[in-house]
Structure 1
Amino acid sequence: MPHLRTPLSLVLAALLFQGAALAAEPRHTVPDTLAQRLMACTLCHGQEGRATNAGYFPRIAGKPADYLYHQLLHFRDGRRNNAGMSDLLDHLSDAYLRDIAGHFAGLDLPYPPPQPSEAQADELARGEALVRQGDAARELPACTACHGAALTGVNPAVPGLLGLPRDYLIGQLGAWQTGLRKAFAPDCMAHVAQRLQPADVAAVVSWLAAQPLPANTRPAPPTTEALPLKCGLSPQGSGGAR
């Protein structure tokens, strides 16, 4: 077959036509909004920060704003040990971290039903007793004394304990026990975690992870009652007296 050649003029015409067609298509622009920027958070924490009730990553949607802000500070400043979070937040200002916290705190989204528990009835009963009553002999206050009677948290800085994965709860209590996780001094959660035996941890997290959410999942209003332990809920110092 003879060698076929396409005239240069036809090639240029085709390229010009293709360029004109592309230029005529509407361009897709991404809005420069805080919600758009924070879609990076949803890669781990789930759509709109909902996460799931299984696995390791916690839900951040609807948590108290000061709690979320302080956790971002802890990650950025090394009181919480997670290289990925620290790298993401390393160069962000306090003001921007406050904006991030406010965005997720303002989301009021439904929770999924809890995962079925594989724990035995006696273990669940032990967990419920520690959550609701504590153990005065070991200086263990009830979880409800700080996290609210409904365990959905207390504004402005105490998180809820329901709707979180069992593995995440175990990981956080373990991190406090080993010193990998810290809070503002005095660190009342370290005091609590270090007094829990392994069987206590298993019982508490199994009971918490199995509980359905109440109709109102929002954090309770701020309270003027003193906390059962001295607890640094902010960089300024103690949030309650023992």
Structure 2
Amino acid sequence: MPLFALRRFSVFLLCALPFAAGARQAVPDTIEQRVAACIACHAPKDGAGTSVGGVYFPRIAGKPAGYLYNQLVNFRDGRRQYPLMTWMVTPLPDPYLHEIADYFSSQHPPVPAPGAPTVAAPVLARGEQLVKRGDPALKVPACIACHGQQLAGVAPAIPGLLNLPRDYVNAQFGAWRNKVRRAHAPDCMATIAERLGPGDVAAISAWLAAQPTPPGARPAERLTAPLPIACGSVP
């Protein structure tokens, strides 16, 4: 078996079908089967991420392929820290990571409706301000300036922000502040996270979590203006 196939097989083991006593069952060599371990947490068929043991996993279906590929590389190369993801992608070469990213970026299942907000109206108003207009005093640009007017992301490498668990968004800001999550320099999100206090982060995550995803929302094909802050992970 070629080395490339052996590396793939390390992922197959995570999602192989049970074996009957004394009999082997063939595992289909399809991209859906190879990413079954990913689907177990990221659940692209129903459009949502999942919560397993209180740990929230994000929606990745429909995100730009360049962004998904960058994150797989970041887990593999130590710029993001999550042991299960690191273990799964460490043996995988770049072409295979591109294949995984391309698969998930092409998936557009129905998006669940958001839950009702659980925070006060002033908190939501502050979140909306930061998302739509930013805060010049803090030198924080609006989220829509990078992530698109619909917050659905921008190809090839900027993710959408809707339909993400609120706790997941909070955790990612914390990871950037604590330098547990990093990207290629200049790391724009790390800079923004350092400028936002915990209250502002909570306001952003609460407002985003309360927003419905527009029907047929897709990542924009290109930015309509230069990025307001330099980002090393965006070409």
Pair 1:40 & 2:37 matched: yes
Q: CA distance change for structure 1 residues 76 and 49 in 2, over 3 Å: closer, same or farther?
A: farther
Pair 1:113 & 2:113 matched: yes
Q: Match for residue 86 of structure 1?
A: 86
Q: Match for residue 76 of structure 1?
A: 76
Q: Match for residue 4 of structure 1?
A: none
Gaps of 5+ in 1: 1-26
AA in 1 matched with 2:32: A
AA in 2 matched with 1:80: R
Q: Match for residue 20 of structure 2?
A: none
1:35-83 CA-partner distances (Å, limit 9, x unpaired): 1110111121125483347661001110000000000000000000111
Paired residues of 2:144 and 2:150 also in contact (CA < 8 A) = yes
Aligned length: 210
More displaced, 221-230 or 56-65? 221-230
Q: Match for residue 47 of structure 2?
A: 50
Question: How much is the aligned-residue C-alpha RMSD, in angstroms?
Answer: 1.8
Q: For 1:109 and 1:221, locate their aligned partners in 2 and report how far apart those are by CA, in whole Å.
A: 20
Q: Match for residue 187 of structure 2?
A: 187
Q: Match for residue 230 of structure 1?
A: 230
Q: 1:216 deviation in Å?
A: 2.4
Q: Match for residue 200 of structure 1?
A: 200
Q: CA distance change for structure 1 residues 33 and 53 in 2, over 3 Å: closer, same or farther?
A: closer
AA in 2 matched with 1:61: A
AA in 1 matched with 2:164: L
TM-score by length of 1: 0.82
Q: Match for residue 8 of structure 1?
A: none
Q: For 2:50 and 2:88, locate their aligned partners in 1 and report how far apart those are by CA, in whole Å.
A: 24
Q: CA distance change for structure 1 residues 179 and 194 in 2, over 3 Å: closer, same or farther?
A: same
AA in 1 matched with 2:225: E
Q: 1:91 deviation in Å?
A: 0.5
SS in 2 for 1:126: helix
AA in 1 matched with 2:40: L
The alignment-based identity, stated in percent, is 53
AA in 1 matched with 2:229: L
Structure 1 runs of 4+ aligned residues shifted over 2 Å read 27-30, 47-55
Q: For 1:149 and 1:68, locate their aligned partners in 2 and report how far apart those are by CA, in whole Å.
A: 20
AA in 1 matched with 2:140: L
* Greater Rg over alpha carbons, structure: 1
Q: 1:204 deviation in Å?
A: 0.5
Paired residues of 2:42 and 2:60 also in contact (CA < 8 A) = yes
Q: CA distance change for structure 1 residues 97 and 87 in 2, over 3 Å: closer, same or farther?
A: same
Equivalent residues in 2 for 1:64-213 (5 A)? 64-213=64-213
Q: 1:198 deviation in Å?
A: 0.8
Q: CA distance change for structure 1 residues 139 and 98 in 2, over 3 Å: closer, same or farther?
A: same
Q: CA distance change for structure 1 residues 67 and 49 in 2, over 3 Å: closer, same or farther?
A: farther
Gaps of 5+ in 2: 1-23
Q: CA distance change for structure 1 residues 49 and 182 in 2, over 3 Å: closer, same or farther?
A: farther
Q: 1:185 deviation in Å?
A: 0.8
Q: CA distance change for structure 1 residues 186 and 49 in 2, over 3 Å: closer, same or farther?
A: farther
